[in-house]
Structure 1
């Protein structure tokens, strides 16, 4: 059986996860979060960061115990039950299949707004084709491109924060320290508003989960993966909190002409027309880098599920000449063509349902693997393998309940389809789902 060759270092894995998270997206979604939280975007990101750190800890523990590709799918099936593992994989597959499509659709929409003479579908085909080609050639090329694109994002973000701080101190004549970005302007701002915002903000934290699909391609994964997962979550979360804090100071409240494009309005206000163009370039570059990471991670999850026969093995369970899962990459590209008939909101509305369901099951998997089966019940172990995952589970369930009704409905339909496929696969639960090999 063929397996990917370990080649990725801690730094490359962290970079890949941060690229997946697309740090500059904090600017692209600022207006939407400001409206949801009534001017407390930083508070929403801080709440999301705290919640995600507990789940990131659980992912790190399971990545150390089971250094294989497959993410939540592999962890839950081996720690709890193979059928529940399938449901976890099906839930997170929703994210991995549709997230690249959403990323490319957003990038195409921004470019179409700047160059309206070129239709959205042309930009979409360019995103899909170039990203798929890069990922088929292999991770070394993808990692190099991500390094350059992350540098562009960091420079644009730094410029945005510097201009926002200059505007606050100069034109706005305000202090640089305030609790307003964390609690909002209105007395009515409350924890439910923050949690509703955090439920949306968690879209940006999927990077720590995505890198677990690269476990088999990472050097010394038992040590590298737990460290990378926590670093990605912490660094990404701090970027979101700090950037949103300064932007919220420069533009207090949540009254925008168009919340979906609030960052353009703010960029023009603090930096003028030239900076608006620079911001657009940075945002599109960020979307491209994120698309590379999202498609690569999704294809490797499809590879893990295809390798053991849960999904069609001939299509998805084999590696191409460059050692990459070509079948999964091509399937991701085909799914992305649905963007030709969808808008961003309808495409992205139910992604977090799958993420939260999988996150909840991974927290339970830690308890099952270490505390129940492994009998790890000392004081320190109880904190790591029982208390921490229980806190993570509680936070995720709260975020899940904070999603809007449409997202829950669409996510439930996807889950029902997965249950029907599982019933067929197991002939009505008369036989177990095929077992994933742990050979590296």
Structure 2
């Protein structure tokens, strides 16, 4: 199977990237995890989300810095590889590979489970297979179709969010819950402490996973060194405002968590309080819609990470480095991700979720460290601004992320460490006992593709 042109097609601008990032992050996840998040934080979920947003903004800044230095599709894998060590870059890439490959499966599993609850005559497995086929087909056609479909799905999600905030304010003015739209209690109250906020932040930080996936589209973005950092910032701020806002109003509307019928579906109880069964049904539809959009984005992003690792010959280039000549998409990787997603037919959500929590925090920590290694140490940018942006900011992001990472559950840590051990063993085999560097992509190839693209654009 020949593949003479291994470059992706540059078509994406700022808006498609923002839509992609929001779809990947799934704005409705705040509703999916509201009950357990509110319980863990003792009602101070808005404070937990605010703390997490601040942490992620530091890390998002670091991703923006690194994409300016290395505007290729490998994300943390490439950044660590080029700025610190090829071996460490491989390990980070291997760790995040578990997250990227399995997240589409989890999204499809969630969407299929909710659809089976609504349409009980159709088994969950049928819905999962249907979603896998549709998502794979859309992504094979390309990012333009992906963006259009996600735009439609996110429009409905935006409508659900609009009605949630409107109905919540109306209910509070009418005396429901705390009967006020202004309160400090969702951020700090007498029932909890700062420790509860930190515990809640460690839990809900998973809601922010996905903003980094925007960097995997670097080779399909027009002027990526400027566009992608803007997209990362906009996605983090938009999602963070939504998360904090939903947690804030949900608490004020329904402050007594002991009366939830089911802690796992607590958001449904909140929806019934402000809008009855009609809005509760609309919220459920919003969760399915947002999860499907996230599956689209996660599926596309995972395929591109596999493409970069295939192009580097970490995996067989003949398969993983192949780009379809017509669609300009990594079609074989998309099919592989689709097949792996079929594992979701046999898993429950708790088991699947435990598999993906580990790698994201590892990549966040090392991307922050990469900024210091590349700009502060290698490039010796140590001016006053350089010290702040290349040392203080990234190290703050790394330490804050580390604090959240060590608060992950035992299941996530044990699965992650096992996967890490497998990766190290494979690296030993690949490098003949660390006697040589692991394969790396020649960035001059990407630069050449950029030059060609600039000529096309200017013409």
Give the TM bin, normalised by the shorter chain: over 0.9
Whether 1:90 aligns to 2:102 is no
Match in the other structure for 2:234: 231
Whether 1:77 aligns to 2:81 is yes
Q: Does structure 2 retain, via aligned residues, the 8 Å contact 1:302–1:328?
A: yes
Whether 1:50 aligns to 2:54 is yes
- Residue range with higher mean Cα deviation, 376-385 or 316-325: 316-325
What is the Cα deviation at residue 191 of structure 1? Answer: 2.5
Q: Specify the SS of the correspondent of 1:246.
A: helix
Whether 1:285 aligns to 2:289 is yes
Match in the other structure for 1:138: 142
The one of 109, 122, 128 aligned to 1:124: 128
Distance 2:24 2:349 in 1: 18
Distance 2:121 2:224 in 1: 48
Match in the other structure for 2:405: 400
Whether 1:215 aligns to 2:218 is yes
The one of 387, 390, 395 aligned to 2:395: 390
What is the Cα deviation at residue 184 of structure 1? Answer: 4.3
Q: Does structure 2 retain, via aligned residues, the 8 Å contact 1:161–1:247?
A: no
What is the Cα deviation at residue 123 of structure 1? Answer: 0.6
Distance 1:396 1:74 in 2: 20
Match in the other structure for 1:250: 253
Match in the other structure for 2:16: 12
What is the Cα deviation at residue 276 of structure 1? Answer: 1.6
Deviations 1:213-258 (A, max 9, x none): 0000000011111111111111111111112111111111432221
What is the Cα deviation at residue 382 of structure 1? Answer: 0.6
Q: Specify the SS of the correspondent of 2:432.
A: coil
Q: Which runs of 5 or more residues in structure 1 are unaligned?
A: none
Match in the other structure for 1:377: 382
Q: Does structure 2 retain, via aligned residues, the 8 Å contact 1:350–1:408?
A: no
Distance 2:98 2:51 in 1: 24
Distance 1:36 1:335 in 2: 33
Distance 1:361 1:333 in 2: 29
Taking a change above 3 Å as real, the CA distance of residues 253 and 47 of structure 1, as seen in their structure-2 partners, is: farther
Deviations 1:389-435 (A, max 9, x none): 00001001100111111211111111111111111111111111011
Taking a change above 3 Å as real, the CA distance of residues 180 and 371 of structure 1, as seen in their structure-2 partners, is: same
Count of aligned pairs between the two proteins = 438
Distance 1:269 1:250 in 2: 8
Return the TM-score normalized by structure 1. 0.97
Deviations 1:16-66 (A, max 9, x none): 101111112211211121111111111111111011010101000000110
Match in the other structure for 2:426: 421
Whether 1:199 aligns to 2:206 is no
What is the Cα deviation at residue 171 of structure 1? Answer: 4.1
What is the Cα deviation at residue 312 of structure 1? Answer: 2.0
Distance 1:332 1:366 in 2: 31
Distance 1:111 1:323 in 2: 32
Q: Does structure 1 retain, via aligned residues, the 8 Å contact 2:25–2:210?
A: yes
What is the Cα deviation at residue 107 of structure 1? Answer: 0.8
Q: Does structure 1 retain, via aligned residues, the 8 Å contact 2:94–2:420?
A: yes
Distance 1:346 1:185 in 2: 35
Return the TM-score normalized by structure 2. 0.93
Match in the other structure for 1:333: 338
Whether 1:183 aligns to 2:188 is yes
Q: Does structure 1 retain, via aligned residues, the 8 Å contact 2:68–2:226?
A: yes
Cα RMSD (Å): 1.2
Q: Does structure 1 retain, via aligned residues, the 8 Å contact 2:6–2:321?
A: no
Q: Does structure 2 retain, via aligned residues, the 8 Å contact 1:38–1:253?
A: no
What is the Cα deviation at residue 352 of structure 1? Answer: 2.1
Whether 1:319 aligns to 2:326 is no
Q: Does structure 2 retain, via aligned residues, the 8 Å contact 1:138–1:324?
A: yes
Q: Which runs of 5 or more residues in structure 2 are unaligned?
A: 447-459
